[in-house]
Amino acid sequence: MTEKMTGRGCRDGQGNAERKHMIDQEKIRKAVKLLLEGIGEDPDREGLLETPDRVARMYGEIFAGMYGDVSEPLSKVFTADYNEMVMEKDITFYSMCEHHMMPFYGKAHIAYVPEGKVLGLSKLARTVEIYAGRLQIQERMTGQIADAIMEHLAPRGVMVMLEAEHLCMTMRGVRKPGSRTVSVAARGIFGQDGAMQDRFFQMLGRDGKPF
Please give the positions annotated as active site: 97-100, 138, 166, 168
User: Cα(88)–Cα(107) distance, rounded to whole angstroms?
Assistant: 11
The three-point CA angle 99-105-107 to 5° equals: 135
Which letter does DSSP use for residue 188 in this model? E
26-58 burial, b at 16+ Cβ within 10 Å, e below that, comes to eebbeebbeebeeeeeeeeeeeeeebbeebbee
CA-nearest of 143, 153, 149, 145 to 82 is: 153
User: Cα(52)–Cα(36) distance, rounded to whole angstroms?
Assistant: 9
Length of the chain: 211
CA-nearest of 110, 93, 97 to 138 is: 97
